[in-house]
Amino acid sequence: MAQVLEFKLPDLGEGLTEAEIVRWLVEVGDVVAVDQPVVEVETAKAMVDVPCPYGGVVTARFGAEGTELPVGAPLLTVAVGEPADGRPAGEASPAESAESEGARGGTPAAGGSGNVLVGYGTAEAPARRRRVRPAETTPATPAVPTAPSAPSTPVANGQLRTEQPTAAQARTRGAVDGPVPVISPLVRRLARQNGLDLREMTGSGPEGLILRADVEYALRAAAAQGRPGTTAGEPRTRTDRAGAGAPAPAAGTSGVTRVPLKGIRGAVADKLSRSRTEIPDATCWVDADATELMRTRAAMQHSSGGNPRTPTAGGPKISVIALLARICTAALARFPELNSSVDTEAREIVRYGDVHLGFAAQTDRGLVVPVVRDAHTRNAESLTAEFARLTEAARTGTLTPAELTGGTFTLNNYGVFGVDGSTPIINHPEAAMLGVGRIVPRPWVHEGELAVRQVVQLSLTFDHRVCDGGTAGGFLRYVADCVEQPAVLLRTL
């Protein structure tokens, strides 16, 4: 016998609580295999293809493209197994077709994969299950439910509930954590469009099943009492979120556009606001002569790791940010106070032995900070390759949540935007960020004479709770010394 299983939006990890449906990869009626991607969602960190842990026929989808769903909200339902009458799973009989397209069930089959995303397992399945019964033969015209025998009282969200429910209604209403007793997706859509919370309704169908007539009856009752149907439990669209709690525009203004703070933009806003609120930061900066660093890089470009006297053009290219990252890891080894974070609840400074180096990357979707794991163990070639891989993944939106979290220090190369200096905001909960401006020819006093040199401005923003200005200044001065004289690194290699 076919079993209809409900697949909910899984926990995508790293504290993510919601995701936006970008594109459905399956239609109702499609046959899906175990672990087949069924929907593409956008979280605050990345684009993710969500695979379904069940194999069968898709019977319903919940949420249109552009809808934001919380973790645990239903995504779709899948009919698994073979019905007793021999029809393929998900194919409804004529008596069932009117109400059973979007059937939702309870207990996942034991054959489910459990691996919704790589690195993040699915939660245990709910214990209860509801069988989809064939609809009873009724007249073609939907019957309007009779008035309840007990007096009805309105609840806060505009629904009507009887004060003396029947035993079946009490059982249905008590299962708050179970599936909503609705089969038809048309009923769900009608309730969602009008802001009705189906969990607060009592159906007139078998075992408390909510029918379309019940929803229409509740809408008429709410309209008669002048109450808008608005709930907090249903997912909201962009338009709903943009207008909620918004101040009225000033008189005489025109052409006002509201852009929701969501996705990556919303995550950046939240993190930077938290950083400014919690971290007492300070910034120091210094100009450095990067001429020797650029010459060293040029020499590396002509060497493939073999004999430097026989330069080759086919060797791996070394990026400037990789050299700066190598300098950063050396500086953090000398000043470990900056490779840390603050545990405000325990009132402790947490220092990290490993350096997981984040770097700011601007993409079409917004600013992201991929993390190079164990940067302190990598050489210039390895760092160059990893920076290139993560940058490409950031541009294509294929970074995983694990590649966007866990950093202990951030390198921000804002010089690629053609600017010289900045006061960067610390990437919470880290304790410091090194900013690098553009490298440009400038007049510079070199060996007692005025010369044109390649000059760069370096800035360090640090959490004043983890160290004082002497430590921050020492770190920045060491970085500048390595930029001006790369041979300084040889003392610690």
Catalytic positions are 464, 468
CB burial readout 167-195, b (16+ within 10 A) else e? eebeebbeeeeebbbbbbbebbebbbebb
479 Rama sector, left if φ>0, alpha if ψ -120 to 50, beta otherwise? alpha
213 φ/ψ angles, rounded to the nearest 5 degrees: -60, -35
Structure-token pair, residue 6:
């409900």
Distance, in Å, from the CA atom of 261 to the CA atom of 245, rounded to the nearest integer, reads 13
Amino acid (one-letter) located at 344: T
SS3 letters across 10-48: CCCCCCCCEEEEEEECCCCCCEECCCEEEEEEECCCCEE
Q: How many CB atoms lie within 10 A of CB 310?
A: 9
Q: How many CB atoms lie within 10 A of CB 285?
A: 17
* DSSP-assigned beta bridge partners for residue 39: 24, 50
Distance spanning both ends of the chain, measured CA to CA? 68
Question: Residue 281: helix, strand or coil by DSSP?
Answer: strand
Structure-token pair, residue 145:
């439910």
Q: Is the dihedral of CA 222, 228, 232, 233 positive or negative?
A: positive
Which parts of 280-398 are beta strand (E)? 281-289, 340-343, 348-351, 357-359, 361-363, 366-368, 371-372
Distance, in Å, from the CA atom of 411 to the CA atom of 321, rounded to the nearest integer, reads 9
